[in-house]
Amino acid sequence: MNVLLKFLVGMLACSGFIKAAADSKVLTFASLDWPPYTGSTLSDQGGSSEVVRAAFKAMGYEVRIKFYPWVRAIKMAEKDANTMAYFPEYSSEEVKQRCALSTSIGRGPLGLAQRKNKPVQWKDIKDLSQWTVGVVQDYVNTAEFDQRVASGKQRVDKSVDDVVNLFKLANSRVDLAIIDPYVFAYLIMHDREVSAVSSQLSINSKLLEEKDLYVCFKKTAEGQRLAAILEQGIRKIDVARIMRNYISNYR
């Protein structure tokens, strides 16, 4: 009887643990240092982090964010059972194949950094083919630009992050560098390496695109459930106000 009783108690404890895990209101997400949108040392961990956290808080959930290099953040969300999503991500056909994308958590511009002594004039994305463009590895850019890269019509040079990309630009190793202008402004203000070459760089007056930002959930029933919860939470908060207040510091 003692053995049977211990077995039953153990089973009940185990089932209680499983139920508690399933009912957990604490979610772990992966992100990267991409200020001012996300960052481990930023207030509220960045504007996009503040939006995600506020939306889930409105639905009774707590969000904990762990920061990694971008490629690892993606892999953590795909492979680690305890990491439910990564953000912020741009939408693309490839991303939609592997993610349950959320509703938009905000918007950001995508532009081109250039050297001040060699400003670039362009009208159409095809015009960029005459230059080598610096990009960050595994970042989504624009659909047309990425298609041209894939088909060999656009020369690119890949870097691990925006800082390396801008350093290459300043040293004439690339002609242009794709970057969000707010990220560019933040790095000029706060990154020592970029500040040192900032007098040589500027943002091209023509933007590539205004991009929506998303959370990329696991493409599972649970991921889709969390995406739906986030969508409900987004309706309860003012995303534009949160982002505007945060981003305004880096204009």
pLDDT, residue 4, reads 43
Of 4-18, 44-58, 161-175, where does mean pLDDT reach its minimum?
4-18
**Dist CA 180 CA 183 (whole Å):** 5
**By percentage, how much of the chain surpasses pLDDT 90?**
87
Q: How confident is the model at residue 16 (pLDDT cuts 50, 70, 90)?
A: very low
Q: Pairing between strand 26-31 and 62-67?
A: parallel
Q: How confident is the model at residue 250 (pLDDT cuts 50, 70, 90)?
A: low
Q: How confident is the model at residue 19 (pLDDT cuts 50, 70, 90)?
A: very low
Average model confidence (pLDDT) for the chain? 91
**Dist CA 216 CA 55 (whole Å):** 15
Sign of the C-alpha dihedral computed for residues 169, 173, 177 and 183 taken in this order: negative
pLDDT, residue 248, reads 78
First-last CA distance in the chain: 72
Q: For residue 140, how far is the Cα from the chain centroid? A: 10
Q: How confident is the model at residue 15 (pLDDT cuts 50, 70, 90)?
A: very low
| Average pLDDT, integer, range 45-62 | 97
| Average pLDDT, integer, range 204-221 | 97
Q: How confident is the model at residue 234 (pLDDT cuts 50, 70, 90)?
A: very high
pLDDT at 198 over 80: yes
pLDDT at 12 over 80: no
**By percentage, how much of the chain surpasses pLDDT 70?**
90
Residue 181, by phi and psi: left (phi above 0), alpha (psi -120 to 50) or beta? Answer: alpha
Record the tokens describing residue 244, joined without a space.
């505007």
Starting at the edge strand found earlier in the chain, the sheet holding 26-31 runs 62-67, 26-31, 85-89, 214-218, 99-101
Global pTM value: 0.85
pLDDT tens digits for 70-101? 999 999 999 999 999 999 999 999 999 999 99
Which has more confidence, 17 or 179?
179
**Dist CA 97 CA 157 (whole Å):** 25
pLDDT, residue 247, reads 81
| Average pLDDT, integer, range 218-245 | 96
pLDDT at 18 over 70: no
pLDDT at 141 over 80: yes
